[in-house]
């Protein structure tokens, strides 16, 4: 993917450190770096999509079949490049999620150590975290008490085993449903209620007479 891989270094390139060797500040800095890289990818995809549309508009006005074919080749090249950037953006999106989870783990390091669980997770490296969490969830479902407690401390005690974050998918779906028009106050309140409100908040609401 051209030079995209060079932008995906940091914690996820070269020699990786285990969670035990990282600091919270280091992880927060890495998250900011990755978000900056992601912003660049998003801007690049927009520019490539605009270029693809411009070329298409130019091509459809040409009368010569050879000219149309030549422009079609250019469009295909631009489309391939855009797909490469989208793939790179998907990678960095996963890395942002993993970095956030690593920072959460570091913030709960004392509690994990006090319960004798730090040894279970402290040696995990960034690239191993997603598989580690999946394995822990499987063990928890099988009745392993240590795995269940670890998930509880990390705020994932009741989560189902998912390959994609359902909350993120729900937010994206709400964005697509809302469209590009400016949101009214009532529309935003409805989105907050249906997308962001937790089950706990629903239970706290008093019953209407």
Q: pLDDT at position 6, please?
A: 46
**pLDDT above 90: percentage of residues in the chain:** 14
- Candidates 51, 58, 104; CA nearest to 78 is 51
Q: pLDDT at position 38, please?
A: 93
What Rg, from alpha-carbon coordinates, does the chain have? 23
Residue 151: pLDDT band (50, 70, 90) is: confident
Rounded-to-5 percentages of helix, strand, coil across the chain: 75, 0, 25
Distance CA 10, CA 6 (A): 10
Helices (H) and strands (E) in the chain, counts: 9, 0
Q: pLDDT (tens digit, 9 = 90+) per residue, 169-192? A: 777 677 777 777 777 878 777 877
- Average of per-residue pLDDT across 148-171: 67
Neighbours of 180 (CB within 10 A): 5
Residue 191 has which token pair? 């989105």
Q: pLDDT at position 165, please?
A: 62
Q: pLDDT at position 85, please?
A: 93
- Candidates 11, 9, 207; CA nearest to 106 is 11
Q: pLDDT at position 40, please?
A: 94
Q: 79 or 17: whose pLDDT is higher?
A: 79
Residue 16: which H helix or E strand, with range?
A: none
Residue 131: which H helix or E strand, with range?
A: helix 129-141
Distance CA 87, CA 164 (A): 16
Q: pLDDT (tens digit, 9 = 90+) per residue, 65-79? A: 888 888 888 999 999
Is it the case that residue 94 has pLDDT exceeding 70?
Answer: yes
Residue 168: pLDDT band (50, 70, 90) is: low
Contact (Cβ atoms closer than 8 angstroms) between residue 84 and residue 1: yes
């Amino acid at each position: 993917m051209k030079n995209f891989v060079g932008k995906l270094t940091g914690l996820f390139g070269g020699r990786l450190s285990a969670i035990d060797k990282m600091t919270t500040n280091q992880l927060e800095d890495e998250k900011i770096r990755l978000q900056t890289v992601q912003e660049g990818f998003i801007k690049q995809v927009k520019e490539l999509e605009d270029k693809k549309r411009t070329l298409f508009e130019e091509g459809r006005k040409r009368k010569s079949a050879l000219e149309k074919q030549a422009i079609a080749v250019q469009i295909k090249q631009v489309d391939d490049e855009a797909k490469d950037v989208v793939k790179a953006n998907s990678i960095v999106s996963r890395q942002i999620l993993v970095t956030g989870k690593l920072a959460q783990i570091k913030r709960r390091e004392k509690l994990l150590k006090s319960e004798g669980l730090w040894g279970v997770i402290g040696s995990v490296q960034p690239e191993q975290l997603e598989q580690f969490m999946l394995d822990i969830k499987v063990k928890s479902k099988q009745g392993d008490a240590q795995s269940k407690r670890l998930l509880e401390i990390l705020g994932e005690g009741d989560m189902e085993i998912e390959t994609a974050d359902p909350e993120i998918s729900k937010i994206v779906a709400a964005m697509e449903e809302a469209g590009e028009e400016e949101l009214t106050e009532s529309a935003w309140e409805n989105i907050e209620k249906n997308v962001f409100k937790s089950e706990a908040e629903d239970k706290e609401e008093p019953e209407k007479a």
